[in-house]
Structure 1
């Protein structure tokens, strides 16, 4: 088969035309750098140039004007179109400048000088959300809204001294939890100022949040029951305005402040890369996810609790969603734990090499509380990771 037999009928956007010849332009995009006192330039390769097809085309015949007008319309449309090139076949191109020539000497014919550039594809950069940053931002917003919501509901002005003692007792109930033992010095400083802080709700809320944010384990706070429904909630409106009723409201506000601050801080502890809250396996991530869901659900559905303001409700929902997305991403990158039982005692370093082809003996010893790294016991279930 000769080259003539392989030529394809030319067309653009389905409009046929004849050709006399073509030119192809291409190559590499080079950035030339020339420096003072240097005889040799440096050429930086910036990638392949877009191919440019120059085609000498024509339409001919008694009704050539209809074919001419159809080709003009196709050339002036925006966006890429399909060019059937006689030599290169089908190409996605964009029509650029063109020239049209007609003369009385060549009647019944229109000649075109066409320039097509390969269209390529719009390759946009992949967008990867910075999940840790998103989660951190939602935590900051949630903390701010927790403080704002508390400040709107807490007011001890005009209450007698005994009522302030009752409110401080509610505060001390939380400060005596195991969670705060790790920040005993900060708690001592807070307690010395609490009588003054309760008169300034915003400062009080921010001080409580500041304490909670220093904690790496808030489980003892979140396991403390929310303040139960008090009698004043089921009594008359007048009863709610009594001193006892007002004190109960403030105690409930304090209870909710500690709980909400801990709820937000729990999501922050999940981002730890070391320490007791670091997530190292998919099973740990799943357990953490279940706890997050349980604690948010308890906050949302426990009857009789004061409902959050709309801004706080939105902030907590955004925090919950970002936390769950973050945990899903973490789970995909972490190994899975499975059980293994040895037939005979084996040194941890040998077992690590058999499992992982590296020296992760310390991980095996730590995960299974092995007494001596030289003797990983046989006949007992061991936890090892998948990678």
Structure 2
């Protein structure tokens, strides 16, 4: 008996013995037809490689070794094969047979056929959660203003109060957009507000046109990221940092927060004494519709902002490796300030805030008697949370660290992370007034991974 070396399968040792065979080739399909002299063949790709080898077990305990190897060969799933000629392979056992002679039970032979496990996995279907949010947002926005048109009730007794309410809401929207510096660059917005204010008396008696006028304003806000960004926005940076991805979406998200607060404040200050119940219901419907429209636009902008953040992450340099000692216990993130979806904690915080706002608006809508619309708002809330939860895991994590002494931002970032290439984002994220001075005693945030 001559062996070529020792091998192992699932930890059970054996000796490679006699012949070793490997099979391969191409998956050729022949095209042959009856009563025809000609044919052909097609190449359908590479065959799966297959290895057949003979092994031996020797010694006084050869039968015990046979039992152990048989159990290893019959075990489900792939196993690790260590072969002296083929190296280490992850294989599946196709078939095997064992042989031994009753007059010499100190020698057992096996013939084993194995197939290597495929390295590639089958493609998985990825759900377009961002597309679901956009489609759900568009349908919710359409349902909002359709509900406004259907539920609008104008009374001649309170016509002036309704006109004042519509005018106040239009002024609030225009003032908020003026804060972005866009109206000078977007003539369509200017025309929409001019037409709305100039024909309020006619619009309150034709709810379809009124709803269409407000809907056009919010659809214009939705389309803003597709337009060229005005230089007025690009030059408004508070610190010497490079432009960030999704800058316009970020400003629209902040605009939505301010606009929602302004609408709530305006509604609380409105005098409803002496108004008829139908007029009060109409005012409440208009207020709720505009708040929901603001929330829908904010949801779509946040989803778009996450897309821009993920694109920026995929183009960045290799991730920073943070020392474990520099990771103190995490603190609660502040709810105020900029909304840049740059880390997983940012995604969690923003999704919870917006979901709470949408759920509150859904409850108000249901209380007003519009259950179908309330269900659509809840569906949008679920789609938004699912989108951020599904895609947000690809963003880096976040740590907080204390600064012991006043030092430049570049030094602080390098001391915490070992890499100072992302100083611009570190300055912006921590709202540092000057890049050369990080005050001692402050806690700063650093993206990790």
Fold equivalence (TM over 0.5): yes
Change (3 A) 1:347 1:276: closer
Between the aligned partners of 2:122 and 2:340, the Cα distance in structure 1 is 35
Between the aligned partners of 1:142 and 1:303, the Cα distance in structure 2 is 13
Deviations along 1:228-269, whole A, 9 cap, x unmatched? 9xxx9xxxxxxxxx9823322322221222122122122112
- Indicate if the aligned counterparts of 2:413 and 2:426 stay in contact, CA closer than 8 A: yes
| Corresponding residue SS for 2:282 | helix
Choose which of 146, 165, 177 in structure 2 pairs with 1:170.
165
Between the aligned partners of 2:211 and 2:290, the Cα distance in structure 1 is 9
Q: CA RMSD in A?
A: 4.2
Q: What is aligned with 1:179?
A: 176
Between the aligned partners of 2:374 and 2:114, the Cα distance in structure 1 is 55
Between the aligned partners of 1:220 and 1:344, the Cα distance in structure 2 is 36
Change (3 A) 1:250 1:371: closer
- Indicate if the aligned counterparts of 2:407 and 2:438 stay in contact, CA closer than 8 A: yes
Mark the runs of 5 or more structure 1 residues left unpaired by the alignment: 4-22, 32-43, 53-81, 93-117, 233-241
Asked whether 1:197 is paired with 2:203, we answer: yes
| Corresponding residue SS for 2:286 | helix
Cα distance, 1:204 vs structure 2: 2.0
Cα distance, 1:138 vs structure 2: 0.9
Deviations along 1:42-67, whole A, 9 cap, x unmatched? xx997422579xxxxxxxxxxxxxxx
Change (3 A) 1:351 1:152: same
Between the aligned partners of 1:254 and 1:302, the Cα distance in structure 2 is 12
Between the aligned partners of 1:331 and 1:24, the Cα distance in structure 2 is 47
Q: What is aligned with 2:281?
A: 249
**Superposition pairs for residues 373-384 of structure 1, below 5 Å?**
373-384=435-446
Cα distance, 1:284 vs structure 2: 2.5
Mark the runs of 5 or more structure 2 residues left unpaired by the alignment: 4-20, 30-41, 51-92, 98-109, 184-189, 222-251, 310-336
Q: What is aligned with 1:11?
A: none
Q: TM-score, normalised by structure 2?
A: 0.53
Between the aligned partners of 2:284 and 2:163, the Cα distance in structure 1 is 12
Deviations along 1:257-304, whole A, 9 cap, x unmatched? 212212212211212248954312333222212222221232233498
Between the aligned partners of 1:243 and 1:342, the Cα distance in structure 2 is 59
- Indicate if the aligned counterparts of 2:133 and 2:383 stay in contact, CA closer than 8 A: yes
Choose which of 341, 349, 354 in structure 1 pairs with 2:402.
341
Deviations along 1:73-96, whole A, 9 cap, x unmatched? xxxxxxxxx97566965789xxxx
**Superposition pairs for residues 251-266 of structure 1, below 5 Å?**
251-266=283-298
- Indicate if the aligned counterparts of 1:285 and 1:330 stay in contact, CA closer than 8 A: no
Between the aligned partners of 1:276 and 1:187, the Cα distance in structure 2 is 28
Structure ID, larger Rg: 1
| Corresponding residue SS for 1:333 | coil
Change (3 A) 1:364 1:225: closer
Choose which of 309, 317, 335 in structure 1 pairs with 2:378.
317
Asked whether 1:298 is paired with 2:360, we answer: yes
Between the aligned partners of 2:401 and 2:429, the Cα distance in structure 1 is 12
Deviations along 1:123-166, whole A, 9 cap, x unmatched? 7520101121111111111111112222221143xx42x52221
Q: What is aligned with 1:281?
A: 343
| Corresponding residue SS for 1:218 | helix
Provide the aligned length of Structure 1 versus Structure 2. Answer: 287
